[in-house]
Structure 1
Amino acid sequence: MLQRIVIFAGGALGDWSLGLVRESDTLIGADSGARFLLQNGLAPDVAIGDFDSVSEEEMALIREKSGRTIACDPIDKDYTDTEMAFRLALDMKPSELLLIGALGTRFDHSLANVHLLALADAFGIPAQIIDAHNRIRLISRTCVLERVDHPQVSLLPLSEQVTGITLSGFQYPLNNATLTIGQSIGISNVLLAESGTIRLKEGRLLVIQSRD
């Protein structure tokens, strides 16, 4: 089992993302995410996508510098570049998966990428989407949450409802509560200590740590 895989997709990226990379990480660049890695001195172990967002010169560099390049037709494909990268990463069975550059100006792509967390949950692989202001994960079982530097914690159901939600270590506690899609009662909670615990009985719950 690999220690951790970090995927760089083609959404919002910046210097903040480079500090998330560890030397032991396996790096996957999805489309222009591969270009971003190379521009910042990091060679992707795998570059994957249709590469319609890079020039011919950039594509040649990606092929030269990446450990492996998987290119596909931009029209005749079933998945987005990010989903292709995500599914490839799951097949590699990492201990953890980070998805960076998954959020951006295209809300449809951003929402589809959040839904990818359900795939990782089905495989039992811890996964997070991270950008400059948010850390997003999906849970279907007990989760211990570290405070890090994102003070707000919001809970939103991804399934129609999530039952048996119990929080410990939070400013606003819940005890065996049910959250249904369309409710905002789970928005902007706060951890009181360095960590808190979220328990649930059934359903899939998005846990979003954020900062302004």
Structure 2
Amino acid sequence: MKKAAIFCSGEMDDDSVWPAAEREQFLVICADGGLRHARRLGITPDVVIGDCDSSKEPYPSSVAQFVYPPEKDATDTNLCLDYALSLGCTQIWLFGGIGGRLDHEFSHFCLLLYALRRGAEVKMVNGQNEIWMIDHSFFLERTEKKYVSFFPYGGPVEDFCIRGLKYEADHMYLDCGKVQASCNEFAQEDIAQISFREGGILLVMLSKDKT
């Protein structure tokens, strides 16, 4: 499985979310202003992609770069995602994708679905949250993040079932106009089983309170 990490120009509130021991496994891509996060972590990206409108410093000449005009149909993050997908990456972490401008943040939720349709999982990560989309039943392991929330995306999720969390569910119909499966948590089990009918798209959020 090929992996990539994309640094966006939003907020990155906890540098410890990406342990140094894990970084060698990843292709590192910076989306324009996300270059500052990589520099702060002492990471040299494999490539920088963008239109130079949010980066306060020039792109390093020693690093591969693709520069686009500001007037374009795709965001810098979308271009980075396309680059990762073109290289066969199927697991992609998005840092700096949460916080900052709300329009940018919402566009990243759209990109979760964009990647899912292309056979890849994009996970948005910061100190408080892990967020991804999935289109099939799965097992979920306990993490240090206390709260587990589920939302239907782009349409209903049918026959939604939860086993192994504090609040279990049987054959629920999750509607986009309701909040029905948020703020759950692990109790005694360390692994939960989440199942739903084929055709639904589930947005999964693991969160914890800010300390």
TM-score, normalisation: structure 2: 0.91
Q: Is the 8 A contact 2:90 2:119 kept in 1?
A: no
2:143: which partner in 1?
148
Distance 2:32 2:17 in 1: 17
Displacement of 1:105 after TM fit? 2.4
SS at match of 2:133: strand
Q: CA RMSD in A?
A: 1.6
1:22: which partner in 2?
23
Letter in 2 for 1:178: Y
Higher strand share: 2
Displacement of 1:127 after TM fit? 2.0
1:167 and 1:181, CA in 2 relative to 1: closer, same or farther beyond 3 A? same
- Kindly report which structure 2 residues correspond to 1:5-20, keeping only aligned pairs within 5 A, or say none: 5-14=4-13, 15-19=15-19
Q: Is the 8 A contact 2:92 2:122 kept in 1?
A: yes
Greater than 6 Å deviation, 4+ residue runs? none
In structure 2, runs of 5+ residues without a counterpart are none
Letter in 1 for 2:190: E
2:194 is matched with which residue: 190, 198, 201?
A: 198
Q: Is the 8 A contact 1:144 1:198 kept in 2?
A: yes
Distance 1:17 1:85 in 2: 20
Q: Which moved more, 1:10-19 or 1:149-158?
A: 10-19
TM-score, normalisation: structure 1: 0.90
Displacement of 1:191 after TM fit? 2.0
- Kindly report which structure 2 residues correspond to 1:115-130, keeping only aligned pairs within 5 A, or say none: 115-130=110-125
1:31: which partner in 2?
32
Letter in 2 for 1:31: D
1:158: which partner in 2?
153
1:46: which partner in 2?
47
Displacement of 1:18 after TM fit? 4.2
Post-superposition Cα deviations, 1:67-87, rounded to whole Å, max 9, x if no partner, equal x1011111x211111111112
Displacement of 1:63 after TM fit? 3.0
1:196 and 1:31, CA in 2 relative to 1: closer, same or farther beyond 3 A? same
Displacement of 1:34 after TM fit? 1.7
Distance 2:143 2:23 in 1: 17
Q: Is the 8 A contact 1:31 1:53 kept in 2?
A: yes
SS at match of 2:165: coil
Distance 2:160 2:190 in 1: 20
Letter in 2 for 1:181: C
Distance 1:49 1:17 in 2: 24
Q: Is the 8 A contact 2:131 2:205 kept in 1?
A: yes
1:210: which partner in 2?
207
2:95: which partner in 1?
100
Distance 2:153 2:10 in 1: 22
Distance 2:18 2:133 in 1: 23
Q: Give yes or no for the alignment of 1:187 onto 2:182.
A: yes
Displacement of 1:64 after TM fit? 2.1
Distance 1:113 1:207 in 2: 14
